Structure 1
Amino acid sequence: MTDTQTSAFPAAETGNKGAWGALLLAGAFEVGYALSVGGSQAFTVLTWSVSAIVFFLLTLYFLSVALKTIDVGIGYAVWAGIGSIGAAVLGAVLLDQPLTLAQSCWLAVIIAGVVWLKLADSPKLK
């Protein structure tokens, strides 16, 4: 990107914190997308369908911004982890979907895996 061009999300270009912020936003929008798709009933409910499309576009945009700085493997794992855990937990809270103890344990494994993956990428451990 040249000096004459501007970015829609300049914080991601100024440092790693901005990229991680974009990745967290992408994860949050992924949760919104997953819940909206569930509420759309196979895209037959207009309001849920429109919100699903909006959340989908937002999650892709912020994920692409984050992946300018963060390695794809790490970024995708964190994004997918946020999306799956957020959708499972909020689906249980907001949509009365069941969340069993076994499912909760496997979600904990996902969290541990994402944290471990990020720690393995730490410059202190290399």
Structure 2
Amino acid sequence: MHWLHLSVAVVFEITVALAAGKAEGFRNRTWTLVTLLSGATATFFLSRALLTFDVGVGYALWTSVAGIGITVLGALLFGQRLDWRKALGIAVVITGVVGLQLSGAA
């Protein structure tokens, strides 16, 4: 169940980043509300996941997987550049996440 909680937290954290970009510095009320509600939901599900995961490992997984998702979606949805350096960074992050998982954390 902790992996499900972490996955939901990641989805909502990605939503936070995408909605915050649309919130225009919190001038757009609808996107501001989406940002805040998504942030609260992401934090709730992260806290549920952290009942099983070590805090450092769970938080690292959450932020890194969300960061990858935000980078990829930024390229797909907003035409942001995804060059070889970013792809290499994503590969390094994935390697780190796999390493954390193989360490026996949760």
TM-score, L = length of structure 2? 0.93
Corresponding pairs, count: 106
Q: Distance in 1 between matches of 2:97 and 2:73?
A: 19
State which of 115, 119, 124 in structure 1 corresponds to 2:98: 115
Write out per-residue CA displacement over residues 86-113 of structure 1, whole angstroms, 9 at most, x where no aligned residue: 1100111112222221111101101110
1:23 Cα deviation after fit: 0.5
What is the one-letter code of the residue matched to 2:89?
W
Structure 2: give runs of 5+ residues left out of the alignment. none
Q: Which of the two has greater helix per residue?
A: 2
RMSD over equivalenced CA pairs, Å? 1.4
1:85 Cα deviation after fit: 0.4
Percent of aligned positions that are identical: 39
State which of 56, 66, 70 in structure 1 corresponds to 2:49: 66
Where does residue 22 of structure 1 map in the other structure? Answer: 5
**Structure with more relative contact order (C-alpha pairs < 8 Å, separation 6 or more):** 2
1:122 Cα deviation after fit: 5.9
Ranges of 4+ aligned residues in structure 1 off by more than 6 Å: none
Structure 1: give runs of 5+ residues left out of the alignment. 1-17
CA contact (8 A) 2:54 2:105 kept: no
